[in-house]
Every structure is written in C-alpha cells, then in structure tokens.
Structure 1
Amino acid sequence: MLNRRVLLAAMGAVIYLTATEVSFAAKPYRSDKPNIILVMADDQGWGDTGYNGHPFVQTPSLDAMAKDGFVFDRFYAGAPVCSPTRASVMTGRNPNRAKVTNHGRYMRPHEQTIAETLKAAGYITGIFGKVHLGSGQPDSPCNPSGMGFDEWVIGLNFFDNDPYLSRMGKIEHRQGKGSVILMDDTLEFLKKHKDGNRPIFTVVWFPSPHAPHAEVPEGPSLYKGKPNAAYYREITLLDQQVGRLRHAIREMGMAENTILWYCSDNGGLVKESSGGREKKGSIYEGGLRVPGIIEWPARQLKGRTAVPVATFDIYPTLLAMAGVELYAPHPLDGMDVSGIISGSVTERSKPMGFWHKLQGGQGTRSDQIQKAIMEKQQAGAPLPHDPKRVRKDVNEFPQFPEETTTGHAAWTDWPWKLHRINGTKFELYNLSDDPMEKTDLSQNPQQTQRLKRMQQELDTWMRSVIRSINGKDYQETK
C-alpha cells in the first residue's frame, strides 16, 4: 500500500468555456490564479435561508451572496452526515471509498486531496474549524498537515462556546463563541498571506448550527416563541460570520479574484424546511439537499441552476476554474461542473451515487479529547494522548465482499432516483414530478426497463466502491 502520495510538480492549464463568454483561465503565475475559499455549515438545511424562502430566519449575508453570485438550487451533500461529506469535498470521491463511511471515521492518508493538489500548484493552504476527518495531534498522518494544509486551527468535531482547538497540534483553550473564533483565525490567515506571492486556498468549516445550539448571534434575542429558535439563532450567527468574511476580503482587496463557495455538510434538522423528504441522516432528499452558492466577481458568476451538483464535484470543478491540472490517481465520483456554472451546460452528464450506513458512526467529543491532550502538553507528559486516535483507520483494510449492500444507497440519474435499502428493497422516484419522494414507481410496469437499468448501474457502482474501500485503488497506484 502507498503510505503517502507522490510529490506533485507545480502545474497549470487553460480551460475556456466560451458559450456564455465566461472563461475559467489561469496561467501558472500568482496574479492570474484565483484565491479559493470553501465555507461549510454544519447541519443547515436547504430551506434554512432567507433566499430559499424561509418564513423567519434572518440570513442577510447569504441572501446578498445569492444575489451577487450563482445559486445551485439542487446542491447535494455527499452524505447525510458530516464526516463523509467532508471527505467527499477533499477527494472528489464517494466518502466510503476513503473508509469515511460514517461520522467520526478518519480519512485514509492514501487519498489525494484538493489541498495537496493545489499546494503542489503553488497555493498556500489553510483549514479552520470543524474537520472531523482525523486527528489534531502533531505527529498523526491523519491531521490537516497530512491532508495538505500548511496552517490549521481545528476542532475534532463540532464545538460551541469556549472551545478547545488544536493549532498545528498544540491545544489552546479559547474564550468566546466558537464560530466567531473560527472566523477570527480565518481572517488572520488571509491577512497574513494576502500580499504574498502565492494564491490562497482556505477551508472554513463552521461548527454551527449543530446541536446543542449554545452560540447566539450579535444583537437582540431572535425568534422568541418560534419553533427550533436556538437552531435558527445559530444559523443567523454563522450568517453574520459569512458577512464578516465577505466584507473582509473586500477590504483586503481580495474579493475580485476570489472564488467563494458556500454549502452545508448535510440536510438540516427540521423536516419542514429540509427541501425534501426526511432530514439529516437520511438518503432521501431532505438529508442530502443543502444550500449552495458560489461567487467569483472577476468572472461575474450570476444566476441560478436546477441542474444537480454535489460536494464531490467541488474538487474537479475548482481545479478547472483555477486552471490547475486535475490530479486524480483514484476513481472520482465527481465531475467538473464549471460548464453548468458558466451556463454552457444545461444537464448533468454523470449520475450521482450515495451510500450511508455501510458502517456505524464513532463518537468524537472534541472538547473532552483536546482538553485532556492540552493538560498532557502543559505537564510535559508523553504524547499522544491516545495512540489509537493518531492512526485510527489508517492501515485498516477490512475486506468487504464485493456484493456487500449493507445500509441505504441511492442512484440519481436526473430526474430519476433509485433507492436500494439493505440490498433487497428498491424504490424509484421521479424527482421532477415528485420532489418529496412520495410515489414509489418501482412496481409501475411502464418503468420496468428503467428500473432494471438503474439497478444494474447502482450495483456496478456499489461494487466499485467496495473495491475502493478494500484498498484496490491504492494497489493500482504503486
């Protein structure tokens, strides 16, 4: 097996999309490469924004971003829970391939990440906030340095007020609202590098609005008497921090050539505003459909699309937009959707696969773990605090039978979506006609051929995923 990736040379490419006079072009020089900032909420549903019509939640910053930028009306998280979706952003792959099958699982360091590829292309890289893909200890191959990040301040999972955060492996007990602290660290990183000779890649992953909703926004108390008021208060808090970010990059003169991409890591906590059937934790639409906005003032990205796009598309798309050659030694599930963004492409050419609960999740108490590590660091005690956490999942290659179908999988070939539940039960929906997935068409005689074709495609894809989790991808890249 490969223990690390090969070192990549700096690379540049030119991609022109001329159908709408929008071009994503870059030369291998600092002045031409865009800065890139990825922002992600934790548990915000598609309908939990003002611009998507929520009846009372206040999200003026996201509303302004949606007005100024380009909105994905059908943007999907790679999984209905947090850690797997984050792995899909990093790799452009279904997270099961990297053994991030559920929350709390570590991403294998064998994976090629977007941070590593951009770093090799000359970017300075930083990540701030909730990572939930590995360790925060300095000598772990699963910490952000091992994922390709030059600088980082992270929580292992969600955090609220007065969090314990790992700054490059040293634990700090910070005072204040976690989401505000996260933005403080982000802006410090951007200010530090804005005048350098390297473009900047920054990942900003909020811990809100994840329960228990202890953080509150600035200003008067909001939503008294409203259902789920604490949840929506945290959404307004993170909206305020998105506003801080957008204002700051304008003040720093960075906004014009910065790609800013916002989304959530899974469906929301309230079914009524999830944008589909069910909510977080479900493969039905409400567990996967999330807010999605991208802006890049230099390219005047504006408009709204109903073409499906997912978090696993971020990696290949951003490389195309930045003019960086795609390095993908392992099979990708995502595709370059820059044509959809530019308007030159009006349909998705690649189906989307989802698969949840192949394995169970694992608890990660971020503050408890990092507080204990901090106390050992301060006492000069041997590290790591827990040897199992430093290399968890790194060299574990359990061999699943290729025909494994445990859990709930789905195959979306727009507008059709096929569900496969524990391998035996199938459901088929037309999302265009039935966005709430109420009418199962799997027994409809008119859909017999479609059902059979999609079952075969889903089965082939699931077998491919099992081969990946078994380690076949890494053997092929020796």
Structure 2
Amino acid sequence: MKFSRQFLVVLLVAIPTIAFTLNQKAHAAPPNLVLLLSDDMGWSDYGFMGHPDVQTPNLDRLAKQSAVFPRGYVPTGLCRPSLMTLLTGHYASTHGVTGNDPSPKYADKDSDLYQQRRAQLISYLDRFETLPEALAKQGYISHQSGKLWEGSYQNAGFTNGMTKGFPNPGGRHGDAGLKIGREGINEINTFLDDAVQQEKPFYLWYAPFMPHTPHTPPQRLLDKYRDGRPLTVAKYYAMCEWFDETCGQIMESLEERGLAENTMIVYLTDNGWIQNPDGRGYAPRSKQTPYEYGVRTPIFYWMPGKIKPGVRTDLVTSLDIYPTMLAAAGGEVSDQLPGLDLMDELSTGDKIDRDTVYGEGFAHDIADIEKPEASLLYRWVIEGPWKLLLTYDGEVNRYQSTHPRTEKGPQLFNLIDDPHEKTNLAKDHPDVVARLAKKLEQWYPVTERKTITTP
C-alpha cells in the first residue's frame, strides 16, 4: 500500500499530538484508592519504624516509596469510633459513636431496648456523607472487607463488600468480613477483576481482623519469634508479620492486573497495642487509652511518581485521609471537615500548615448514646513536642482496669525527649499547660463533665 507524501506529512505531524492527548488522558485518570488498616498494632511494631524484631518487609518496601509520617494519630484510641472517623471524616464527639457498645448497665444485652440503642448508633452514619458515597459521585466503585461496625457495607455506602451487619448473626463488627486476610483475599481479587472489566476507578477498604486477637498465626511464623520470648509476645509479633504478608498479596494482585501504577495506598492502624507478656491481652497505656501506644500510628501515603517519598516530621491524623483521598479523586472537599487535604504537600514535599492535633477518649461502653460527654474520659492536644492530657469524670462501666485515671491532675509530656510518656512535666511548665488547655477549650468546649484534679 502506498501513501502520498502529503498524507505522510499530516500523519507525522499528528502522531505527537495524538500521543500527548493519550498521555494526558492517562495522566488525568482518577487514581484507585486503597486503605490498608491494621487492627490493634503498636506504633513502633514495624521494620520501617525501627523495631528490632518484628519483620514487615512488604510495608517496609511501600514505606521506602512513600511519604511516611511517624507522628500520625487517630483521635480516639478505640476500634469503632476510630473506624467511624475514617468513614465520616469527623471526631467521635461529632459523629456520635464514642464507644463500641451501648452500656449494658442501662439495658440488658438481650433486651429490645439494647437492640434499639444499637440500631440508633448505626443510624448516626446517615447524618454524614461517607467517603465511599462521596467517591461514588466521582464514578468510583468500592469494596469493604474486614471490620465494619455500622451495619452492612451498603449502609456505609460501599458498592461491594462482605459485611452483612446488625441485626444479622455476628453483625456487631464485621461478620463475614472478618475472614479476609486470615482466610485469603479471594473476595478482593474478584472485586479487582470486576473493576478492570468495568474500567472503573475504585476504593478498597482493607481492614482485616489482624493482628487483633485471637492471636492465631501460622506455625511457620510463630516459630520465627519463639526464641527467648513469652509465647504471648511471640504470637503477637507473628500476627504483625502475617498482616504484612496479606498486604504483600494485595500489592501482587494490583501489579498483576496493571493497577498499581495509578493507585494511591494509605496505611495506618485503628488504635495502638502493647502485648501484655502475662497473656492477659493488652498492657496498660495502650488500646483504649489516650497515651501514645493507644492513639499514635505511623501513617504513610504511597503513589510513585505523584507523591514525593521521604520521612516527614509533620503532625498528621486519620482525619486527613477522607479529604485527601476525595481530593485525589477530583471531588470537592467540604470546609466542614476538620482534617486537611494533603495532596499538595504530598506531591511537593512541602511542610504541612499545622502545628497542633487534637484527640479525645471515651469509655468502651456508651453511657448515653445521645450525650457523648457522659462517657468522656480524656481530651488531649499535641503541639510540637508537647502533649497535654486532661482527665474527666465520664462514666466507665466495663473495662475499669483500662481507665484507672490514677493521675488526677494535668499530664504534660515532651514526646521528643520522652516518647513513652514516663515523666509528667506539668508542674515544671505551668505556662505550657495553661496555653494548651486554652487550645483544648477553643477546640472542644466541655460543658457537662468535670476535670479530675488533684485534691
């Protein structure tokens, strides 16, 4: 076949334009979004965070290519409120789900009243546009696996998922969704295949019941950690590596389908953990508490070519994930969200315009589902190196040992010098206490609870 010289000239001129247009179209394609959320994992228990024993090679590999924030926080150190924050982008005192369950002190767990209160808590999700719902407006499909407390995956706005939710059997916090990771990731792979077939961007919520108890790791992993350690600690360490293995499986699935190149991955844990060597679950000052091993988590954002890698000193919070993911998807971020859209800073490496983060702690059992402050135990604020923790007289029903509140006065810690919060400096720095207490009051004015103070 012969072509005229004029046709060839036109073709040669057009090829760069066509290529540029296709490249721009590919570049403009909204990114896939993946949330990797571990369950009950200490902030230091990773290779990339310097743990001398726990091995997390897959997360380490992602972290090397990510913007890593070692000083990340969740505003509430308890499972359900923390996950509700990720769905709504709001503090627990705003979204209203402050604890895991209505208090059985005021209604027997088998009573109709108790079930009505459970249903009312789930209905609080209806007051917000969840992240999956906001992403759906941008053409996204979404998949839920792992933990979910707020009813079925459809109730939370996911287009696909595993959890049937309350009032189905086992619907308290995940039912069938809790199998993910521990029993493979087949449901995720099916969803990824559907996304490819539909040519749709997607949001993947991977919140497995790992390393959460029961600590039942594969024997091959447990054997790696048995040398000289209490069995309970070895099991927890092995669970951390097992979770890491499943993250590697998800990465393989993305890469095999050609999806990784245009995917943003965000990692964090829902709340902290210190494994108690005596076998009785978690140690004090970890899960359910406002101390660092309750609320601190490394947070990283991965998207090679779009997000500048490096370890960052900025303060970040799980509240930022909703607006950042929504902005990455091309959605409009509401100014009512307390978190920050970090996309510009993630791409440039510039410092985040923030010097303070806030948090709050409530009892596991919700004393009054319409009055969050009835269960308020703590408020805290971090400014630079300083952390101020104030204690309140909210009601605790079960889990008394988790909230001893033995130190009645303000607690002030220098987290840079004392990351394990061993020394209360409140008496040495009354000016810092006063300044940070004022910040707390301006952020969230407590009107119904009394601060516990030293007599």
The reply to whether TM is greater than 0.5 is yes
> 1:75 is paired with a residue of what secondary structure?
strand
CA distance 1:47–1:443, change in 2 (3 Å): same
The amino acid across from 2:421 in the alignment is E
1:75 aligned partner: 72
2:45 aligned partner: 48
Contact 1:30 / 1:199 at 8 angstroms: preserved in 2?
no
> 2:365 is paired with a residue of what secondary structure?
coil
1:293 aligned partner: 300
1:24 aligned partner: none
Contact 1:271 / 1:278 at 8 angstroms: preserved in 2?
no
Contact 1:90 / 1:113 at 8 angstroms: preserved in 2?
yes
1:118 aligned partner: 135
Contact 2:98 / 2:372 at 8 angstroms: preserved in 1?
no
1:406-447 C-alpha deviation (Å, 9 max, x unpaired): 301101222222111016732222323332323333223x54
Output the CA distance in 2 between the equivalents of 1:217 and 1:335.
42
1:59-101 C-alpha deviation (Å, 9 max, x unpaired): 1111111122222111212321111111111122112311111
CA distance 1:165–1:303, change in 2 (3 Å): farther
Q: Quote how far apart the aligned CAs of 1:308 are.
A: 1.4
Unmatched 5+ residue regions in structure 1? 1-26, 136-142, 158-163, 363-392, 467-478
The amino acid across from 2:310 in the alignment is G
How many residues are treated as equivalent by the alignment? 380
1:431 paired to 2:415: yes
1:442 paired to 2:412: no
2:435 aligned partner: 453
Q: Which residue, 341, 349, 365 being the options, matches 1:336?
A: 341
The Cα RMSD (Å) is 3.4
Contact 1:99 / 1:108 at 8 angstroms: preserved in 2?
no
> 2:441 is paired with a residue of what secondary structure?
helix
Output the CA distance in 1 between the equivalents of 2:221 and 2:444.
49
Output the CA distance in 1 between the equivalents of 2:272 and 2:183.
25
1:367 aligned partner: none
Q: Which residue, 311, 314, 324 being the options, matches 1:304?
A: 311
1:122-166 C-alpha deviation (Å, 9 max, x unpaired): 11111111112x22xxxxxxx321221111103869xxxxxx888
CA distance 1:441–1:397, change in 2 (3 Å): same
> 2:382 is paired with a residue of what secondary structure?
strand
The amino acid across from 2:377 in the alignment is G
How do residues 122-137 of structure 1 correspond to structure 2 at under 5 angstroms?
Answer: 122-132=139-149, 134-135=150-151
2:202 aligned partner: 200
CA distance 1:221–1:264, change in 2 (3 Å): same
1:146 aligned partner: 155
> 1:187 is paired with a residue of what secondary structure?
helix
1:417 aligned partner: 387
How do residues 208-357 of structure 1 correspond to structure 2 at under 5 angstroms?
Answer: 208-216=210-218, 221-225=223-227, 226-227=229-230, 228-270=233-275, 278-327=285-334, 331-349=336-354, 351-357=356-362
CA distance 1:154–1:405, change in 2 (3 Å): closer
Q: Quote how far apart the aligned CAs of 1:217 are.
A: 6.9
CA distance 1:438–1:180, change in 2 (3 Å): closer
Output the CA distance in 2 between the equivalents of 1:238 and 1:196.
29
The amino acid across from 1:114 in the alignment is L
> 2:421 is paired with a residue of what secondary structure?
coil
Output the CA distance in 2 between the equivalents of 1:318 and 1:94.
18
Output the CA distance in 2 between the equivalents of 1:39 and 1:204.
5
Unmatched 5+ residue regions in structure 2? 1-23, 102-120, 278-282, 394-407, 449-455
Contact 2:153 / 2:164 at 8 angstroms: preserved in 1?
no
How do residues 394-405 of structure 1 correspond to structure 2 at under 5 angstroms?
Answer: 398-399=370-371
Q: Quote how far apart the aligned CAs of 1:263 are.
A: 1.2
CA distance 1:465–1:262, change in 2 (3 Å): farther
> 1:428 is paired with a residue of what secondary structure?
strand
Structure 1 range deviating more: 283-292 or 242-251: 283-292
Q: Quote how far apart the aligned CAs of 1:289 are.
A: 1.4
Q: Quote how far apart the aligned CAs of 1:271 are.
A: 7.7
CA distance 1:421–1:219, change in 2 (3 Å): closer
* TM value normalised by structure 1: 0.71
> 2:422 is paired with a residue of what secondary structure?
coil
2:3 aligned partner: none
The amino acid across from 1:422 in the alignment is Y
The amino acid across from 2:81 in the alignment is P
Q: Quote how far apart the aligned CAs of 1:219 are.
A: 6.5
Output the CA distance in 2 between the equivalents of 1:342 and 1:283.
31
> 2:314 is paired with a residue of what secondary structure?
coil
How do residues 383-398 of structure 1 correspond to structure 2 at under 5 angstroms?
Answer: 398=370
The amino acid across from 1:451 in the alignment is V
Output the CA distance in 1 between the equivalents of 2:38 and 2:177.
22
